[in-house]
Structure 1
Amino acid sequence: MVIDHGLRRLALGTLLGALPGQVAPPWAMSLLADGLAGFTLFGRNAETPEQLAGMTAALRAGRGDVVVAIDEEGGDVTRLEHRTGSAYPGNAALGVVDDPELTRAVYAAIGADLAATGVTLDLAPVVDVNTADDNPVIGTRSFGASTALVARHAAAAVAGLQEAGVSACAKHFPGHGATVRDSHLELPTVDVPLSVLRERDVPPFAAAIAAGARAVMTAHIRVPALTGDEPATFSRGALSLLRDELGFDGVIVTDALEMTAAAAAAGGVPRAAVRALAAGADLLCLGSRVDAALVEAVVAEIAVGTEDGRLALGDLERAVSRTAELASPGTAFGTQRDQSLGLVTARRAVRVEGSLEDLGSPLVVQLVGAQSAVAGRVPWGLAPHLDGIEHIAVVASTASAADLVARAGGRPIIVVGQRVHQSPADRALIEALPATVVVEMGWPSAWRPAGIRAFVTTHGASWANGRAAAEVLGLA
């Protein structure tokens, strides 16, 4: 079909694409010139801060008001430091320290790093209240399980980012913290009365909005009392709660439409785009796998949607108007990165139960498993911080406790893992080892194996968390 030029530009003005490498290809620059709102950057786009700054400068040369977005949460989810792990601890560590001014300072430092590379929109902070210990997708990305705690840190994080000149995007509305399913893979359901949602999950978003958050991201979760059978991203009821009840007049951003919980529910990314816009979203994250053909397919479906009644032209125009305002970032205050801030914070977040005396030169065993769909292949653990200490990585389901004991040869064994309470194999291996020290770098739980020497909780798996753990163990 032939799409009217003005309508095509409107449709493009609601879309965040993605780039395949460290230089924007010609098709991306062409779409940008035609009106594409901007791009979401991923680890593959960031080799060094200098390279990334050059890439974003080239995008702005293509069009000065381009939106350059990134998921830089600190902690376990980092794009700028995906090769080493983040120098900042994430939200769970900030929450357990519970110093909102420190949270503001950490997010201001993250914002300064982003501003220096030309990023204008940080798809952070996560303001979900993590009430499900087995939550597979939020966990340490959350400030905690207390609504009041999450709310005060949500406000502090937004303030820190935006005083650095980078727009904040509070996520994932109306609250992803009570889910036990991963929305990258399926559509999770939070089956609670609307009163519970308002009391437990919504207040942190209200706090972020009161702090001036310029954007809020929708969640691909189903809340029957609010969204019916739809994910919140496609629910006018959910987005009306955000607009009308919370008074949010900024940009509503969708989580990635390529995620199974959105794409499968709608019958593909193009149809998902129309449904999200019709529900009241303004800026659509298409996902990480984007090319010109996908963008054009989405544009064509949006155009058809305005003709067949699925999408009102006025709603499309309002979305573009809001997104255009987001393209103008605030004024950065220009502070330089405090190299010690992240480590100082991570140290304050470490909790030790038991005795760490006489560890000597232990065997450090890291339990490895499937990579996170959110964090990707980001290094974690103690290995970068050990000097002359033997370190091995094992898969618990195929490891032998007897072999590890033999290898240790009488030395203490330190087992490092993430969310070990969720893995029967991890738990069984730890319980079969004598007098072990366990280092939990994921979301903490009440599980404690009998007979261990000590249990160390870091509240995150960033580079800073790993360094702090190595220090408290006397290994760094």
Structure 2
Amino acid sequence: MGNARADARGLIAKLTLEQKVGQLFMLAFGGKDLIYAKQLVQERYVSGFYISQDNAETVSEAKNLTKTLQDTASSTRLDLPLIFGVDQEGAWGVAVSETTTGPGNLALGSADDRSLTREIYGVYAREMMACGYNVILSPCADINSNPDNPIIGTRSFGEDRDRVARHVKAAVEGALKNHIVCCGKHFPGHGDTSEDSHRLLPTVDRSLVYLQDQDLVPFQAAIDAGLPMIMTSHINFPQIDPDFPATLSPKIMNDLLREQMGFQGVIVTDSMNMWGMRKNYDPAQSAILALKAGCDIIMLSEEHYEHDAANYVAKQMATIDGVLQAVEEGDLALDIVENALERIFCLRIQLARNTRRSETDFSDISTEKHRNLADLAAEKAIRVVRDRDNLIPFKDAFKSKVKLIGLSGAEAHQMVVSTRGIGPNDPQAAFDVLCEELKNTSVDIEILSEIDFQGLLAGEQSIDKEDIVIGVSEDYPLPGMDYDVDLQEERLSKLIEITKGKMVVCALRSDYELRSYPDLSTYVAAYSSRACSARAMARFIVKALAGCEG
């Protein structure tokens, strides 16, 4: 690292002020507009890009994107690799139809096999490096303290502090062993909110003592494991800093993260284009405050939460120009800029080393071994959380009619498959995957149509008391949007009333909804809405119908 720091300082000395300021940014671009992206490298001197499914839907497109832009960067005076950061974290992903997401962190936490978590993150590393992506913006080190959290959920390893810490550490180890930079998020914790910071600025009213005992433990485990990068959270922690949210707080970024916790790596902001930040701060003002607080990289992605389609290009330019002006006028010290650049350049020097060490290509994408690992993780995650009437395994199932009911409406499924860019990027709703898998078995199951389900809820159809009723619930962490769990809850509550609670819910999601259904007999959770988990749940149902213990 000593040589890297000396090399970094030598590179900084070559740059003009405008170039130094540009290097503080990690930006995004709309769709597949590589012309604008190349301009950002050549004319605004950015350090890298936040890449989403919107930029590259396939592995081939990803490889073309990264090669084109890296070739552009190699012609600059720095000749350092660009940062390509992607949300490959399980519940969220990129090039999802071709890469291996696995079931996601909450399922890995449920499986509670650290070696499996380590291997899954090794898969992320190898597949993303084969795409040309050199930074995974994961793992989430957030603890699911609040079951009503709309945006973390299946992205976290769970609600238990020590379990989350164990798996965060394993994830970091798996990524670093396979030569990719990983980024823990969302410091100092996004799990204890009931609001989505993509839409507004949440508040967590906890003391520092509480955070040190809970939320900070997984982050410390990650730092101790060699975590090279941490992402901030746009959340108010008034008991620590009554004046600024975490991203803009020197007390949190410098005093807490740097000095108390000993983190010496790169601090990147969560997207400053998120509505929680934009509603409260001018873009340039927030970037300046973040740098003063101790952040190194200002990240802006091409987001339009709250249906705001404002010109993101103009905002990006205004933000860079605002920071440049602040340095020129003495409002932002040059030392702050150059200290941040030293850390950024050390990271990018490491990226160059990782690229040389990583021998990946297209043959490393979604291999049979990778798919088998994902299937194993999904299978090990499934839990029978409640079974008051001992319905599982199903007894004398051959004498009964089995009715499978999707509890989400068709419109909710359409929202999932049509939402592209940042998020899950599922090509197919989990319930549909489950149904397809069951249709490929010899099990005789009646899958109720939406029309038949509506008729059942309206009392126009009935269920025999011998019938085995299986309801399937789902949830997806969609940034800036809500999956319609309210409709799902309404429909399930009615179904529990009709069956007098003697039914099974197979949850392709977390089990946090269970507290709303005290009269429900049996609940089985996969802790994931990914396809591998839907297939694993189908196998569980088949085994249970055969009289086996899932």
TM-score of the two chains, using structure 1 as the length reference: 0.89
The 5-angstrom pairing of residues 46-445 of structure 1 reads 46-64=56-74, 65-74=81-90, 76-81=91-96, 83=97, 87-240=101-254, 241-267=256-282, 269-289=283-303, 292-327=313-348, 328-329=350-351, 330=354, 331-332=357-358, 336=364, 337=367, 338=369, 339-352=371-384, 353-354=386-387, 355-356=391-392, 357=394, 358=397, 362-368=403-409, 369=412, 375=423, 377-378=425-426, 379-387=428-436, 388=439, 401-403=456-458, 406=461, 412-418=468-474, 423=485, 425-433=487-495, 434=499, 435-445=502-512
Q: Name the CA distance, whole Å, in 2 between partners of 1:429 and 1:228.
A: 42
- Name the CA shift for 1:204/1:422 in 2 (closer, same or farther; >3 Å): farther
Residue 261 of structure 1 and its aligned partner are, at CA, apart by: 1.8
Going from structure 1 to structure 2, the CA distance change for 1:85 and 1:452 (only over 3 Å counts) comes to farther
> Does the Cα contact within 8 Å between 1:401 and 1:432 map onto a contact in 2?
no
For the 8 Å contact 2:24–2:341, the answer to whether it is kept is yes
Rounded Cα–Cα distance in structure 1 between residues aligned with 2:359 and 2:260: 33
User: How big is each residue's C-alpha offset from its partner over 1:38-79, in whole Å with a ceiling of 9 and x where there is no partner?
Assistant: 1111111222212211211111111141111101101x2112
Q: Which runs of 5+ in 1 are unaligned?
A: none
**Correspondent of 1:37 among 23, 42, 47:** 47
Paired residues of 2:247 and 2:290 also in contact (CA < 8 A):
yes
Distance in 2 (CA, whole Å) between partners of 1:391 and 1:278 is 58
Secondary structure at the aligned position of 1:79 is classed as coil
1:468 equivalent in structure 2? 536
1:363 and 1:405 mapped to 2: Cα distance? 18
Q: Could you tell me how far 1:436 is from its partner in structure 2?
A: 3.3
* Deviation by residue 1:339-387 (Cα, 9 ceiling, x = unmatched): 2000111100001243252275533314144669962552332312424
Deviates more, 1:38-47 or 1:376-385: 376-385
1:274, distance to aligned residue in structure 2 (A): 1.4
Matched-pair contact (CA < 8 Å) for 1:100–1:153: yes
CA distance in 2, matches of 1:248, 1:384: 42
- Structure 2 CA distance, aligned partners of 1:71 and 1:142? 13
Count of aligned residue pairs for this structure pair:
466
For residue 226 of structure 1, report the CA deviation from its aligned partner. Answer: 1.6
Q: Deviations over 1:182-219 (max 9, x none)?
A: 11111111101110011111111111111111100000
Which whole-Å CA distance do the structure 1 matches of 2:313 and 2:157 have between them?
A: 38
Amino acid at match of 1:26: I
**Residue 170 of structure 1 contacts residue 208 of structure 1 at CA under 8 Å; is this kept in 2?**
yes
| 1:308 shift after superposition | 4.0
Instruction: Identify if the C-alpha distance between structure 1 residues 174 and 390 changes in structure 2 by more than 3 Å, giving closer, same or farther.
Output: same
Post-superposition offset of 1:403? 4.8
> Secondary structure of 1:362's match?
strand
Contact kept? 2:434, 2:537, Cα under 8 Å: no
TM-score normalised according to structure 2 size: 0.78
Superimposed CA distance per residue, residues 99-124 of structure 1 (whole angstroms, 9 cap, x where no aligned partner): 11111011001111101101111110
Quote the offset at 1:19 in angstroms.
2.5
Change in Cα spacing, 1:392 to 1:213, as seen in structure 2 (3 Å) is farther
Q: Choose 203-212 or 300-309, whichever is displaced more.
A: 300-309
C-alpha distance in 1 between matches for 2:53 and 2:125: 17
Task: State the alpha-carbon separation in 1 of the partners of residues 64 and 342 from structure 2.
Answer: 28
Q: Which AA in structure 1 matches 2:432?
A: A
Q: Deviations over 1:128-171 (max 9, x none)?
A: 11111111111111111121111111111011112222100000
Relative distance call for 1:391 and 1:308 in structure 2 (3 A) is: farther
Would the alpha carbon gap of residues 256 and 404 (structure 1) be closer, same or farther in structure 2, given more than 3 Å must change?
farther
Whether the aligned pair in 1 keeps the contact of 2:201 and 2:235 (CA below 8 Å) is: yes
Rounded to whole Å, the distance in 2 between the matches of 1:113 and 1:452 is: 41
Deviation at 1:416, TM superposition (A): 2.0
Residue pair 2:136, 2:183 contacting (<8 A) in 1 also = yes
- Displacement of 1:272 in angstroms is 1.7
The alignment yields a C-alpha RMSD, in angstroms, of 3.0
Change in Cα spacing, 1:163 to 1:243, as seen in structure 2 (3 Å) is same
Amino acid in structure 1 at the alignment position of 2:429:
W
Deviation at 1:294, TM superposition (A): 3.0
Q: Mean Cα displacement is larger for which, 305-314 or 460-469?
A: 305-314
Sort the Cα spacing of 1:14 and 1:360 in 2 relative to 1 into closer, same or farther, 3 A: farther
Gaps of 5+ in 2: 1-14, 75-80, 304-310, 440-444, 477-482, 546-550
